[in-house]
Structure 1
């Protein structure tokens, strides 16, 4: 119990699940040294990446690389759900284990459908920036859990486990009943999820067609829906401290309709992501850092691979 919400819980959870799957870890171990230049709370050095790193090491050193990228992601989710105590989904783990730009369909969570997309941001004339808002999200497990719990309450009205199993038409037809049972915030969050599932498909198609302007428009639309309906930008009841929303507002003002900016990762604290035209990248970086602090703007590349063994 004392390891809940700690890195030790994630290590133990990964090892436990791999052991149950047949990896013999009895009387075996390793000393690990880790270093990273990724800033804390960036939405990039998340627990998912940590879980995949642990799973990759154990898989390569003690199990001859038998686990697939999908299995490593599922192991990470198990560790986070059961040992760490956070009811996360599988998306971050899949992104970390597969790598690159990917489209993932989770209808069958045991066998997610993964499609890698060939995307060169620089060829489109853009850079991807991650902006540190200055607000951590280490103590926000309850905020993340509330999203899951509220959406589950919506599903319970229809006797279903996940929102995907509830047709949107049925949700709209029973809206008053859902509001009474789950509350209005849950209803707004459901509106976001229904629209976001459609947007994800549209984003994938836009990238496939090479229509980056359409992709950016969808990113902007997604970000606004996330802030308005999913409500994962400002922690509940926080009025004086709204660092992430200020970061997003500042970026929109600097970009003046170009590119796109939105909440990055789970939200409530942490970072924003911005697609910035290359011809204004220097100006954008200087302006954001002048307002938010030195080195708050990180120009990043999308890693083409997930967990890998070097040498």
Structure 2
């Protein structure tokens, strides 16, 4: 799959610029196994990078011009100078993710050079699998190959990519998506402490498949509702006099939760219990205990549905269909920001086909579509690949 994507990106570069690229980099999308909306609460998450990626083929220029060809958008072009202030553009929107990363690198005084770039990817868009972070991290990884940028670690690149989305694109995302894209380890999920930025590899058990099932419910409310949830979490943390809900445990919440607005209490309860579930899930997955992982994923979904209120009926239905097939042998939950998007399931490989059959028979999206199903493996994070 990646070889085809690399070939397509190389071809686009050669067609646009009349020469072969000197460097090719990739950065993966991600799926979050458990730990939803905990990242911006300084908590814990357990995502893995997936084998769907953004690939950039590039060559340094002798001047200070950056020229980008988007192979997936009919060769759309963005061009600008590193010597001029970078500004957001109304169209094409993808250009802002590239400009934003370069803007952050320039702010840090790093020695950038002009670049010709062709970009292509196969991370499904609009599915909550973080195609935007994949693009941002790929751009950061490309420029990190320049002389004088060797000191940038994968976490540094992730934080640059996050800052670009926060400051330039205007998306107030946490740091999970960028960290897993930059620092993922093949065959492993990564437990991330979103406060300390420490990461711990957690092996995906042999014989377990990662299934991502797209509901085709468009995530139309996610930005406004995301910001509302974030403010509610901040209000709860402020009430308890702590920096973030990471610092509140369940006994404290149960003792003093009655002081909170009832809706804010439910939001806080999701975050507090979800953090505990992530820690338990890392232990269960590390021991290869899929039944226990399944229990935790189910509890996570119920919490997202009832306390955080970010699922929708078709997502709940999709989870139920998968759960009825896998029983206690694995786990399934909504993944991503909510209000549509995807469901993630961790299932024994022998149950992949039965799940696919049941979903094909029983599920239809808002326009009568079948679910699009991706069977993934845990992939390595961003880096250079053979040009």
Q: TM-score, normalised by structure 2?
A: 0.69
Shift of 1:193: 1.0
2:195 corresponds, among 107, 122, 133, to 107
2:231 corresponds, among 127, 146, 149, to 149
2:309 corresponds, among 220, 227, 231, to 231
Whether contact under 8 Å (2:321, 2:359) holds in the other structure is: yes
In 2, Cα distance between the equivalents of 1:172 and 1:203?
23
Give the structure with the larger helix fraction. Answer: 1
Other structure's SS at 2:121 match: coil
Shift of 1:186: 2.1
In 2, Cα distance between the equivalents of 1:176 and 1:90?
31
In 2, Cα distance between the equivalents of 1:172 and 1:298?
40
- Whether 1:198 and 2:283 are equivalent positions in the alignment is no
Other structure's SS at 2:350 match: helix
Other-structure match for 1:66 = 151
Other structure's SS at 2:293 match: helix
Other structure's SS at 1:18 match: helix
Gaps of 5+ in 2: 1-86
Other structure's SS at 2:138 match: helix
Whether contact under 8 Å (1:4, 1:83) holds in the other structure is: no
Other structure's SS at 1:87 match: coil
Other-structure match for 1:98 = 183
Distance 1:139 1:213, change over 3 A: closer
Other-structure match for 1:297 = 373
Counting only pairs closer than 5 Å after superposition, residues 4-23 of structure 1 correspond to structure 2 as: 6-23=93-110
Shift of 1:138: 5.8
Whether contact under 8 Å (2:158, 2:182) holds in the other structure is: yes
In 1, Cα distance between the equivalents of 2:318 and 2:148?
44
Shift of 1:209: 2.7
1:172 corresponds, among 254, 266, 272, to 254
Shift of 1:287: 2.5
In 2, Cα distance between the equivalents of 1:295 and 1:133?
5
In 2, Cα distance between the equivalents of 1:215 and 1:130?
16
1:249 corresponds, among 311, 320, 340, to 320
Other-structure match for 2:128 = 43
In 1, Cα distance between the equivalents of 2:358 and 2:124?
20
Distance 1:216 1:277, change over 3 A: same
| Cα offsets for 1:130-161 (capped at 9, x unmatched) | 10101232662112111211101112223433
Counting only pairs closer than 5 Å after superposition, residues 209-288 of structure 1 correspond to structure 2 as: 209-234=287-312, 242-288=313-359
Other-structure match for 1:306 = 381
Distance 1:247 1:208, change over 3 A: closer
Shift of 1:97: 0.9
Q: TM-score, normalised by structure 1?
A: 0.84
| Cα offsets for 1:22-72 (capped at 9, x unmatched) | 3123xx332322223332223324322221111111112464443111111
- Whether 1:82 and 2:82 are equivalent positions in the alignment is no
RMSD: 2.4
| Cα offsets for 1:195-244 (capped at 9, x unmatched) | 1111111111122333232222222222222222122213xxxxxxx432
